A and B are shown apart, each in its own frame.
Chain A
Protein backbone atom coordinates (compact mmCIF):
# COMPACT_ATOMS: atom_id res chain seq x y z
CA UNK A 1 0.00 0.00 0.00
CA UNK A 2 1.21 3.51 -0.79
CA UNK A 3 1.73 5.94 2.03
CA UNK A 4 4.02 8.04 4.17
CA UNK A 5 6.19 6.53 6.88
CA UNK A 6 7.61 8.61 9.68
CA UNK A 7 10.16 7.29 12.14
CA UNK A 8 10.73 7.03 14.96
CA UNK A 9 7.32 7.40 16.58
CA UNK A 10 8.89 8.81 19.75
CA UNK A 11 12.22 10.62 20.05
CA UNK A 12 14.09 12.17 22.93
CA UNK A 13 16.68 14.89 22.59
CA UNK A 14 19.39 15.86 25.02
CA UNK A 15 20.52 19.46 25.47
CA UNK A 16 22.85 20.57 22.68
CA UNK A 17 22.06 17.57 20.51
CA UNK A 18 20.84 17.52 16.90
CA UNK A 19 18.25 14.90 16.02
CA UNK A 20 16.92 13.81 12.64
CA UNK A 21 13.35 12.77 11.91
CA UNK A 22 12.77 10.49 8.96
CA UNK A 23 9.99 10.83 6.38
CA UNK A 24 9.65 8.42 3.43
CA UNK A 25 6.85 8.25 0.86
CA UNK A 26 6.10 5.72 -1.87
CA UNK A 27 3.30 7.71 -3.48
CA UNK A 28 5.57 9.10 -6.21
CA UNK A 29 4.70 12.61 -5.03
CA UNK A 30 6.89 15.55 -5.99
CA UNK A 31 6.01 17.83 -3.08
CA UNK A 32 6.78 17.14 0.60
CA UNK A 33 6.16 19.18 3.75
CA UNK A 34 7.12 19.32 7.43
CA UNK A 35 4.76 20.70 10.06
CA UNK A 36 5.00 21.26 13.78
CA UNK A 37 1.95 20.83 16.03
CA UNK A 38 1.88 22.03 19.63
CA UNK A 39 -0.76 20.72 22.08
CA UNK A 40 -4.27 21.88 21.26
CA UNK A 41 -3.12 23.89 18.26
CA UNK A 42 -3.08 23.71 14.50
CA UNK A 43 -0.16 22.90 12.23
CA UNK A 44 2.61 25.33 11.40
CA UNK A 45 4.77 24.90 8.31
CA UNK A 46 8.50 24.40 8.93
CA UNK A 47 9.90 23.60 5.47
CA UNK A 48 8.55 22.38 2.17
CA UNK A 49 9.96 21.02 -1.06
CA UNK A 50 8.22 21.11 -4.42
CA UNK A 51 10.86 19.07 -6.23
CA UNK A 52 14.04 17.10 -5.61
CA UNK A 53 17.11 19.18 -4.66
CA UNK A 54 14.97 22.22 -3.85
CA UNK A 55 13.24 23.37 -0.67
CA UNK A 56 11.86 26.55 0.88
CA UNK A 57 11.46 27.87 4.41
CA UNK A 58 8.01 27.88 5.92
CA UNK A 59 6.73 30.06 8.73
CA UNK A 60 8.89 28.66 11.54
CA UNK A 61 12.14 27.41 9.91
CA UNK A 62 14.57 28.77 12.52
CA UNK A 63 16.40 25.97 14.33
CA UNK A 64 15.51 23.35 11.70
CA UNK A 65 17.19 22.07 8.54
CA UNK A 66 16.12 19.73 5.73
CA UNK A 67 17.48 18.02 2.64
CA UNK A 68 15.76 16.61 -0.45
CA UNK A 69 18.29 14.40 -2.22
CA UNK A 70 15.75 11.76 -3.24
CA UNK A 71 12.15 12.11 -4.36
CA UNK A 72 10.86 9.71 -1.74
CA UNK A 73 12.75 11.10 1.28
CA UNK A 74 12.60 14.43 3.14
CA UNK A 75 14.42 14.21 6.51
CA UNK A 76 14.11 16.99 9.08
CA UNK A 77 16.94 17.84 11.49
CA UNK A 78 16.05 19.61 14.71
CA UNK A 79 19.21 21.45 15.67
CA UNK A 80 20.43 22.57 19.07
CA UNK A 81 19.48 26.11 17.98
CA UNK A 82 15.81 25.16 18.34
CA UNK A 83 15.28 26.02 22.01
CA UNK A 84 11.77 24.67 22.34
CA UNK A 85 11.67 21.51 20.22
CA UNK A 86 9.08 19.58 22.22
CA UNK A 87 6.19 19.04 19.80
CA UNK A 88 4.45 16.62 17.45
CA UNK A 89 6.07 16.68 13.99
CA UNK A 90 4.07 15.75 10.91
CA UNK A 91 5.31 15.06 7.40
CA UNK A 92 3.04 15.30 4.36
CA UNK A 93 3.24 14.96 0.60
CA UNK A 94 1.20 15.98 -2.42
CA UNK A 95 1.42 15.39 -6.15
CA UNK A 96 3.00 18.76 -6.83
CA UNK A 97 3.88 20.00 -10.29
CA UNK A 98 3.43 16.66 -12.04
CA UNK A 99 -0.29 16.86 -11.39
CA UNK A 100 -2.43 18.27 -14.15
CA UNK A 101 -4.40 20.31 -11.63
CA UNK A 102 -1.70 22.33 -9.95
CA UNK A 103 -2.48 23.92 -6.64
CA UNK A 104 -5.70 21.95 -6.09
CA UNK A 105 -4.34 18.88 -4.39
CA UNK A 106 -4.86 17.29 -0.99
CA UNK A 107 -1.92 16.50 1.25
CA UNK A 108 -1.30 13.01 2.60
CA UNK A 109 0.09 12.78 6.12
CA UNK A 110 2.25 10.37 8.06
CA UNK A 111 1.45 9.40 11.65
CA UNK A 112 3.93 11.79 13.17
CA UNK A 113 6.96 11.79 15.47
CA UNK A 114 6.62 13.02 19.04
CA UNK A 115 9.82 14.76 20.15
CA UNK A 116 10.59 15.46 23.79
CA UNK A 117 13.51 16.93 25.71
CA UNK A 118 15.40 14.80 28.23
Chain B
Protein backbone atom coordinates (compact mmCIF):
# COMPACT_ATOMS: atom_id res chain seq x y z
CA UNK B 1 0.00 0.00 0.00
CA UNK B 2 1.14 3.54 -0.67
CA UNK B 3 2.01 5.42 2.51
CA UNK B 4 2.34 8.83 0.88
CA UNK B 5 -0.17 10.67 -1.20
CA UNK B 6 0.95 13.64 -3.24
CA UNK B 7 -0.89 16.68 -4.35
CA UNK B 8 -1.22 17.91 -7.01
CA UNK B 9 -0.71 15.02 -9.43
CA UNK B 10 0.44 17.50 -12.07
CA UNK B 11 1.62 21.11 -11.93
CA UNK B 12 2.45 23.43 -14.82
CA UNK B 13 4.12 26.80 -14.17
CA UNK B 14 6.20 29.44 -15.93
CA UNK B 15 9.92 29.81 -15.47
CA UNK B 16 10.73 32.00 -12.49
CA UNK B 17 7.59 31.06 -10.56
CA UNK B 18 7.61 29.00 -7.38
CA UNK B 19 6.31 25.42 -7.28
CA UNK B 20 4.81 23.81 -4.20
CA UNK B 21 4.10 20.11 -3.86
CA UNK B 22 2.46 18.45 -0.89
CA UNK B 23 2.70 14.98 0.62
CA UNK B 24 0.52 13.34 3.24
CA UNK B 25 1.16 10.05 5.01
CA UNK B 26 -0.63 7.77 7.42
CA UNK B 27 1.68 6.27 10.05
CA UNK B 28 4.55 7.49 12.21
CA UNK B 29 7.86 7.94 10.43
CA UNK B 30 11.58 8.08 11.11
CA UNK B 31 12.17 10.55 8.30
CA UNK B 32 10.66 11.79 5.04
CA UNK B 33 12.62 12.13 1.82
CA UNK B 34 12.03 13.89 -1.49
CA UNK B 35 13.33 12.58 -4.80
CA UNK B 36 13.31 13.81 -8.40
CA UNK B 37 12.97 11.61 -11.48
CA UNK B 38 13.64 12.78 -15.00
CA UNK B 39 11.79 10.88 -17.70
CA UNK B 40 13.15 7.35 -18.16
CA UNK B 41 15.85 7.77 -15.52
CA UNK B 42 16.49 6.70 -11.95
CA UNK B 43 15.58 8.76 -8.90
CA UNK B 44 17.84 11.44 -7.50
CA UNK B 45 17.74 12.23 -3.78
CA UNK B 46 16.93 15.87 -2.98
CA UNK B 47 16.36 16.29 0.76
CA UNK B 48 15.91 14.16 3.87
CA UNK B 49 14.04 15.66 6.83
CA UNK B 50 13.96 13.83 10.15
CA UNK B 51 10.84 13.42 12.25
CA UNK B 52 12.15 15.89 14.85
CA UNK B 53 12.87 18.60 12.24
CA UNK B 54 10.32 21.12 10.97
CA UNK B 55 12.06 22.78 8.05
CA UNK B 56 15.08 22.20 5.87
CA UNK B 57 16.68 24.10 3.00
CA UNK B 58 18.96 23.09 0.16
CA UNK B 59 19.69 25.71 -2.48
CA UNK B 60 16.35 26.62 -4.10
CA UNK B 61 14.55 23.82 -2.26
CA UNK B 62 12.64 24.21 1.01
CA UNK B 63 10.98 21.28 2.75
CA UNK B 64 8.64 21.47 5.72
CA UNK B 65 7.36 18.65 7.89
CA UNK B 66 4.34 18.72 10.18
CA UNK B 67 4.18 15.44 12.07
CA UNK B 68 0.96 16.41 13.85
CA UNK B 69 -0.78 16.69 10.48
CA UNK B 70 1.32 13.92 8.91
CA UNK B 71 2.18 16.13 5.98
CA UNK B 72 5.16 17.63 4.19
CA UNK B 73 5.66 20.17 1.44
CA UNK B 74 8.41 20.79 -1.09
CA UNK B 75 8.89 24.32 -2.38
CA UNK B 76 11.05 25.01 -5.41
CA UNK B 77 11.75 28.72 -5.76
CA UNK B 78 12.58 30.59 -8.98
CA UNK B 79 11.90 27.50 -11.08
CA UNK B 80 13.79 26.70 -14.27
CA UNK B 81 12.91 24.62 -17.32
CA UNK B 82 15.49 22.08 -16.09
CA UNK B 83 13.34 21.50 -12.98
CA UNK B 84 10.78 19.72 -15.19
CA UNK B 85 10.54 16.22 -13.71
CA UNK B 86 8.45 14.00 -11.45
CA UNK B 87 8.87 14.59 -7.73
CA UNK B 88 8.26 11.86 -5.17
CA UNK B 89 8.00 11.88 -1.42
CA UNK B 90 9.03 8.76 0.46
CA UNK B 91 8.51 7.92 4.09
CA UNK B 92 10.98 5.88 6.09
CA UNK B 93 9.63 3.88 8.98
CA UNK B 94 12.96 2.14 9.50
CA UNK B 95 14.33 1.35 12.91
CA UNK B 96 17.87 0.71 14.07
CA UNK B 97 17.26 -3.03 14.05
CA UNK B 98 15.65 -3.18 10.61
CA UNK B 99 17.35 -0.40 8.69
CA UNK B 100 15.88 1.92 6.11
CA UNK B 101 12.79 0.95 4.15
CA UNK B 102 11.07 3.60 2.01
CA UNK B 103 7.44 3.79 0.91
CA UNK B 104 6.88 6.10 -2.06
CA UNK B 105 3.97 8.28 -3.06
CA UNK B 106 2.71 8.38 -6.65
CA UNK B 107 4.48 11.61 -7.44
CA UNK B 108 3.81 15.07 -8.81
CA UNK B 109 4.66 15.77 -12.45
CA UNK B 110 6.09 19.29 -12.62
CA UNK B 111 6.35 21.08 -15.96
CA UNK B 112 8.21 24.40 -16.07
CA UNK B 113 7.51 26.31 -19.27
CA UNK B 114 10.24 28.59 -20.65
Cα distance A104–B56 in the bound complex, in angstroms: 14
Within 8 A of B (CB), among A101-118: 102-112, 114
Question: Is A31 within 8 A of B99, CB to CB?
Answer: yes
Q: Chain A residues near B105: list those with CB within 8 A.
A: 42
Number of residue pairs A-B, CB distance < 8 angstroms: 79
Is A66 positioned at the interface, with any CB of B under 8 Å from its CB? no
Is A59 positioned at the interface, with any CB of B under 8 Å from its CB? yes
The bracket for how many chain B residues form the interface is 20 to 34
A residues with a Cβ closer than 8 A to B are: 4, 6, 31, 33, 35, 40-45, 48, 50, 58-59, 90, 92, 94, 96-97, 102-112, 114
B residues with a Cβ closer than 8 A to A are: 1-2, 4, 30-31, 33, 35, 40-45, 48, 50, 88, 90, 92, 94-96, 98-107
Besides the contacts A43-B88, A58-B101, what 19 more A-B pairs have beta carbons closer than 8 Å? A4-B42, A33-B102, A35-B104, A42-B4, A42-B104, A42-B105, A43-B104, A50-B99, A94-B100, A97-B99, A103-B31, A104-B30, A104-B100, A105-B48, A105-B100, A107-B33, A107-B43, A111-B41, A112-B40
